[in-house]
Chains A and B, each alone.
Chain A
Amino acid sequence: MQNSDKIIEKLEKKLSTFSAQGSSTNVGTVEKNTDGVIVASGLSKAMMGEQVVFEKGAKGVILNLDEDSVSIILLDRADDIETGETVKTTGQLLSVEASDELLGRVINPLGNPLDEKPRIKKGRLMPLEKIAPGVVKREPVNTPVKTGIKAIDTMIPIGRGQRELLIGDRGTGKTAVAVDTIINQKQERLQKSHKPMYCIYVAIGQKQSTVAQVVDRLKQSGAMDYTIVVAATASDPATLLYLAPYAGVSIAEYFMEKGNDVLVIYDDLTKHAWAYRQISLVLRRPAGREAYPGDIFYLHSRLLERAVKMNKENGGGSITALPIIETQANDLSAYIPTNVISITDGQIFFQTDLFNAGIRPAIDAGNSVSRVGGAAQTAAIKSVAGKMRLELAQYNNLAAFAQFGSELDEATSKQLERGKRTIEILKQPQYDPLPESLEFASVWALTNGFLDDVALDNVSRFEEQLHSFMKRKYQKVLDKIAKGEKPTEELNKELNKAVTEFKKSFS
């Protein structure tokens, strides 16, 4: 129990901020309540995006300013709002309380906990809507985000501050790649090769069970220590779904402003667009293509523009965005996918056919691209990735012709066999991200022909055993690779020796 002095001291501290000066409030009257959209008269001093409070305590946010009235969308389910009820402005734009205590927590977009732990009160208020930092404050992407997934780190590298879209049909492994990337940051934290990354997973319109699974997986992998989950599930009002990604990026900005690197995953922006369409339609805004409002592009561009790599004078922090878009029947040319493709700095395309053929992660290398990530790739990976990508492209070309069954010359057959092994080596089980040194070892062995005489079925076993062999006997070589520098001739010789030695023992 607290002693009386402390209680009085606390009260005095609170009262010291009290001002007895008169105050003015801007009030309005509820005119209409249709589909969760409240039309209120009065409120002549209201601002766009300002938070308002109703007589019975329900909260809302202003989304339309008309000549005589304002349209308010409710932030919680409140069916008891009646016409004639008063509503008053708060003078505050919608914001979320952010602090270091949020790490490991599951919250909703308003900052209310969903994990049955107490509410965080001490945080800093971060506005949900904010103009992205300008050109002068930024610097080009130059540090990698290591996903631990061979196919991505080698062929479609992601840099800190980049916006890389994960796009594909449902059930093709988009969320799995995103979760793997979060899990891999644990290894990165231990290696201390770069600044540690904080992760924010924003679940938009997903089933509560799916969010629970992700949280459970992150907990099991020990990734929740540096992760925050912002969840607006399918049962939440469309307003919360609309606000969720903005809440996520606002929290990310809190960490970024302290000079940290943050990774934000928006899972997924298709449902976000649906929620915004629903809100816009009930607000009677003019509908455009596929009934989306005219500012649907701006909705996502203003969100993703907040992904940034700040220069040293401005703290040097960064926000990397991994938005997810769900396509229908692998159609990349639909409205929302094309919008987000054009906003982001590249996309990773997940194919259903590849997934069903057992190629997982089901990344379609031909349609995937990283426009700025190359600058962030380490010299070590760059030295082997280019060759592998070229060989894979050649294989894809040749494989189409090889289907006709005509006789092939030796060089073509070799290329085909190499291609098959490349695809095999890029396969990776879920929730098993690899450190860069082991990724390098696998690709190095492949591009230097050590796998050419290994049967296709044995490739994964070869890789697995090679990794444990290297860790057991050649840890020093792995440590050298982990530095990320371009492999010297000496290092190549050591690798050659190691893989040759391993191959002798491999059966």
Chain B
Amino acid sequence: MDRKLIKKLASASYTKNLLDEVKVNKIAKELNRKELKLYVLALKNIERANTVYAYFPYFPGKDDIKNLKRLYPDKKLVAKTDKSLIAGVRIVNNDIIYENNIKNNLNKIISLISE
């Protein structure tokens, strides 16, 4: 089974944007070790692409989550706390990181001065 087919199987393992355990078990039974490895990798990639992580310096309130949901309506949201940000937010959307916080600004100033 080639990589493309395994990718198709991985995306078919979802029902209404949620991973379907029954489908996963059914598919996994049919795969050999190598194919299973690729299948797990493909699932991980889909999970990563479907999830947005948001880091706040404080415990995020309802408004914060609401705002994020408006920005990413089709994605699963995971809100986390990171006090080192001081103020602002860090959003991780798959392989893109948006930094809008004091910690990042201070780091930018440090690198600018040390250039």
State the A residues within 8 Å of B (CB): 11, 14-15, 17-18, 20, 22-28, 41-45, 68
Contact-residue bracket for chain B: 10 to 19
**A14 touching B113 by the CB < 8 A rule?**
yes
Annotate B89-115 by CB proximity to A: 1 below 8 A, 0 otherwise. Answer: 000001111111000110011001101
Number of contacts between A and B (CB, 8 Å)?
45
- A42 to B41 Cα, complex, angstroms: 12
Whether B45 and A41, one on each chain, are in contact in the complex, defined by CB atoms closer than 8 angstroms, is yes
Contact of A44 with B94 at beta-carbon distance under 8 Å, contacts A14-B115, A23-B99, A24-B99 already known: yes
Say whether A11 contacts B99, CB under 8 Å: no
Given the complex of chains A and B, what is the CA–CA distance between A41 and B42 in angstroms? 11
A22 and B98 alpha carbons, distance in the complex (Å): 7
B53 to chain A, nearest CB (A): 12
Q: Are A42 and B98 in contact (CB under 8 A)?
A: no
Contacts of B88 in A (CB 8 A): 22
Chain A residues within 8 Å of B97, by CB = 24-25, 27
Q: Let me know if A23 and B45 touch, CB within 8 A.
A: no
Contact partners of A14 in chain B: CB under 8 A: 112-113, 115
Chain B residues with CB below 8 A from A20, complex form: 105
Give Cα distance in the complex from A44 to B104, angstroms. Answer: 22
Residues 9-55 of B at the A interface (beta carbon under 8 Å): 45
Verify A18–B96 contact, CB threshold 8 A: no
With a cutoff of 8 Å between Cβ atoms, the chain A residues found around residue B95 in the complex are 26-28, 41-45
On whether the beta carbons of B99 and A18 are closer than 8 Å, the reply is no
B109 pairs with A24, CB closer than 8 A: no
Chain A residues positioned under 8 Å from B99 (CB to CB): 22-25
**22 A-B contacts, Cβ less than 8 Å apart?**
A14-B112, A15-B113, A17-B112, A18-B108, A18-B112, A20-B105, A22-B99, A22-B100, A23-B99, A24-B96, A24-B97, A25-B97, A25-B99, A26-B95, A26-B96, A27-B95, A28-B95, A43-B95, A44-B94, A44-B95, A45-B95, A45-B96
Docked CA distance A15–B109 (Å): 7
Contact A42 B94 (CB under 8 A): yes
Smallest Cβ-Cβ distance to A43: which chain B residue:
B95
Give Cα A45 to B97, complex, Å. 12
A395 to B109, CA, bound (A): 75
Whole-angstrom CA separation of A15 from B112 in the bound complex: 7
In the assembled complex, the CB of B97 is this many whole angstroms from the nearest CB of chain A, namely 5
Given A18-B108, A18-B109, A18-B112, A24–B94 Cβ distance below 8 Å? no
Q: Which residues of A contact B96 (CB under 8 A)?
A: 24-27, 44-45
